[in-house]
Amino acid sequence: MTRTYSVQSVSYSLSSEGKPSQFIRFAGCNLAEEGHPCSWCNAPEAQLTEQGKQLNTVQITGKLQKNPCMDVMLTGGEPLHRKGLFTLSSHLKQLGYKVCVDTNGSLGVNFVVRYVMDVKCPSSGNAEYNLYSNLPNLKFDDTVKFVVRDREDFEFALEVLGKYTTRATPTFSPVGGELSVEEVGEWLMSDYPEGRVV
């Protein structure tokens, strides 16, 4: 029997790094479904499982095969909240796709793909749900992402990076309309030149 998943969309566009990518956006976020969505959620249309439609592995693969791009981002919602994600990831990797999981950082990173993992800053309202034990498990080609609204969030990120060892590349994303890329860039240049603004 083919497994089905609650999927909000399958699309093809540029990633935040400016790279063409295919995106499988799963519906349902563990934080939102437990009653505390992030203040800066970039996909409120995918917070709840019922916001998706049921697609099986064959249907998902068929949508991906319409485009030439072999980079696939599993996002959400929260993809690690979906049962069977390892099965889908393994299937896509067997077909030659490069799979990356974009996770909110509150659930364990427990199988081998590339990860973009959020660490929730105080302004998100969900900093208490960060699973810091993930950080040492991230690899050199992974990314740890901090969405920052203000200097307090930035200082929090530096504190986390100072306390927990990780091989992942630290990135900082300013909250749109609240903080500029230039301002975060200045903070990085003076306080944390190892980071990147995305």
DSSP assignment letter at 154 = H
Alpha carbon separation from 161 to 57, 59, 110, 165, 191 (Å, rounded): 37, 40, 21, 7, 12
pLDDT, position 1:
54
Beta bridge partners of 118: 145
Q: How many angstroms separate the CA atoms of 114 and 111, rounded? A: 9
Its pTM stands at: 0.93
pLDDT, position 18:
79
Instruction: Tell which residue, 118, 162, 167, has the closest CA to residue 138.
Output: 167
pLDDT, position 147:
97
pLDDT, position 40:
84
Residue ranges in the chain modelled with pLDDT below 70 = 1
Please tell me the CATH superfamily of domain 4-197, with its number. Answer: Aldolase class I (3.20.20.70)
Terminal Cα-to-Cα distance of the chain (whole angstroms): 41
pLDDT, position 42:
86
The answer to whether the Cα torsion of 198, 64, 52, 3 is positive or negative is negative
pLDDT, position 19:
87
pLDDT, position 139:
96
pLDDT, position 2:
78
